[in-house]
Amino acid sequence: MTIRVQLDDMLWRRRMTLTELSERVDITVANLSVLKTGKAKAIRFSTLDAICRVLECQPGELILFHPEGAPDED
């Protein structure tokens, strides 16, 4: 997949757990986990809006495009 979701990185920067984010945006931990692991096929703008509001970030800080595919994992 050429789209990478950096939710884990943003949570680390904000010193927030997935559970805390889940409670604050009223989305299940399971659904956020699917997004975090890159297994999501879509995201609603309302969900993206809620996450960005809580994490105080821009959508482009959460979602990246890699034209040559996903970068190699170390």
Q: What phi, psi does 3 have (nearest 5°)?
A: -100, 130
Nearest to 44 by CA among 57, 54, 32, 30: 32
The predicted-structure confidence for 13-63, as pLDDT tens digits, reads as follows 999 999 999 999 999 999 999 999 989 999 999 999 999 999 999 999 999
Question: Two tokens at 16?
Answer: 């927030």
- Helix ranges restricted to H, 1-74: 7-13, 18-25, 29-36, 45-55, 59-62
The predicted-structure confidence for 3-14, as pLDDT tens digits, reads as follows 889 999 999 999
Q: Is the pTM of this model over 0.85?
A: no
Residues counted in the chain: 74
